[in-house]
Structure 1
Amino acid sequence: MRLDGRAAIVTGGSRGIGFAVAQGLLASGADVLLTARDGIGVEEAVERLRAGGGSGERRGRVEGRTGSAGDPDATDRWVRSCLELFGSVDFVVNNAGANQPLAPAVNGDPAVWLDTFAVNVHGPLALVRAAWQVWMREHGGAVVNVVTEGVHGAGPGLAAYETSKAALLQLTRHLAAELAPGVRVNSVSPGLVRTELARHYWEPAERQLASATPMRRLGEPEDIAAAVVWLLSPAAAWVTGTDLLVDGGRRVAPRR
């Protein structure tokens, strides 16, 4: 799945799933513009990615930019930076996500809902719009939105997060229909992955959670990254408008 000469924007790329996606794309030869809110985190991530080369096939180049995925001005800047740095904007990976403090839908802070939807729904749309207008409309491309397995259920206190991700899933379908045949748009729904963002879920009961999963382990960021890179690659040339559930089989685990 070589992607030499292609360029990608990966949001929320300073750690976790986004960092692993950037690693996978660079290893396949693609250039990567990595973005996140934390400037120091972006700088450190770029340094680690550049240092992780080694011998073998050509690796892509990586640069970093800061800003909020929920800020349309920032997403516009990222697209133009990617074009200036690498000469194209072939791939967009909307990985950045706002996971606010747990709260029921009926009495959650309205400001939290607005911020969550800004980052998880409006931001991805703004980034795809900018990429479409600047590059993809004429040259094609592929988009992957990172959703969550939670859209298939209702996690306690996760109303804002899961509802916004469900909206992103539906947006994925609409964009796939609207931008075909030149641009493919898909999503990945990760199960419980061992990231810092989800640490408070998995760390207190990792062994029990793993044993309840048919694959007998929790996910790693690299598991999700492999799915994302595949969906962006020519190997998935006839795949669009789909959601790839990557959860270690949790959804088919026998009920106890």
Structure 2
Amino acid sequence: MTGHRRSALVTGAARRVGAHLARRLAARGYVLHLHAHTGDLESTAADLRREFDVPVSVHRLDLRDTDAVRKWAQAVRRGEDPPTLVVNNASRFPGPHAITDIGPLTEGMLVHLVTATVLLEALPDAGGHAVNMLDARLPLLDGERPGYELSKQALAHQTLLAAKRLAPKVRVNAISPGLLLPSPGCGEDGLARLALRRSPQHRTARLDDVAAALLFLENATSVTGQVIHVDAGEHLGAVENT
């Protein structure tokens, strides 16, 4: 086992934010354990191996299966290049639903909260670091997707609790991104209009800034229990022009 190499496990790494974070970590020489449930993860991994000459392993897993997640965490910890960094990026973002609809809440809790908690078992006894991906709009609950909002709120609280309980051996932090990329049915123009309404800076956040926040948290070893908003001020709420 080559434990001296920095190694990161990234969930939801096939596309969008997860793929970008994986790329930035590969550029820094990290050995990568990349997870996806769907998507072309193999092509992402092959591109990173070719461009950065780093080992990249691919893991297909449904994060709603807690037993499978626990077995995976134990396996990567025992295997070659066990992760010293876990990035909990995978997310379930359902359509609007009633607060009494338990399905989205159950799935959200499993994918966001339970997975992030179980994957702490993948980290070493000392020197490990977990980073949870939250959402800039959590302070501005709108209730359209209670399963998503409640489970991400729970993950935010887990960040603080785990940071306290696992110190000084393991650090736990979080990044709370704002609008970054167009969603299906919303192009670049639509995203820009949405950012104009939501963000005090009247623009979207930048993927490179999210990656920079991750690298800051990884390298600032005295930082734990912190949530960094990378959102052009979106968590503050819309500000009228004066």
TM bin, normalised by shorter chain, reads 0.7 to 0.9
Could you say which residue in structure 2 is the equivalent of 1:127? 119
The residue type equivalent to 1:22 in the other structure is A
SS in 2 for 1:99: coil
SS in 1 for 2:225: coil
Misfit runs of 4+, over 4 Å? 200-204
- What aligned pairs does 1:1-256 form with structure 2 within 5 A after superposition? 5-38=5-38, 41-53=40-52, 60-83=54-77, 86-105=80-99, 107=100, 109-128=101-120, 130-132=121-123, 136-137=124-125, 139-194=126-181, 198-200=183-185, 203=188, 205-212=190-197, 213-233=199-219, 236-252=220-236, 254-255=239-240
Output the TM-score relative to the length of structure 2: 0.87
Q: Percent identity?
A: 30
The residue type equivalent to 2:72 in the other structure is W
Output the TM-score relative to the length of structure 1: 0.83
Aligned length: 236
Per the alignment, do residues 115 and 147 of structure 1 end up closer, same or farther by CA in structure 2, a change over 3 Å counting? same
2-structure distance, mates of 1:202, 1:175: 38
Q: Tell me if the contact between 1:17 and 1:222 (Cα under 8 Å) persists in the aligned partners.
A: no
RMSD over aligned Cα, in angstroms? 2.3
Per the alignment, do residues 191 and 202 of structure 1 end up closer, same or farther by CA in structure 2, a change over 3 Å counting? farther
The residue type equivalent to 2:112 in the other structure is N
2-structure distance, mates of 1:155, 1:16: 24
- Consecutive unaligned residues of structure 2, counting only runs of 5 or more, are none
2-structure distance, mates of 1:193, 1:49: 22
Q: Tell me if the contact between 2:132 and 2:155 (Cα under 8 Å) persists in the aligned partners.
A: yes
Q: Tell me if the contact between 2:143 and 2:149 (Cα under 8 Å) persists in the aligned partners.
A: no
2-structure distance, mates of 1:200, 1:189: 23
**Deviation of residue 103 (structure 1)?**
1.4
- Consecutive unaligned residues of structure 1, counting only runs of 5 or more, are 54-58
SS in 1 for 2:175: strand
Higher relative contact order at CA 8 Å, sep ≥6: structure 1 or structure 2?
1
2-structure distance, mates of 1:99, 1:74: 22
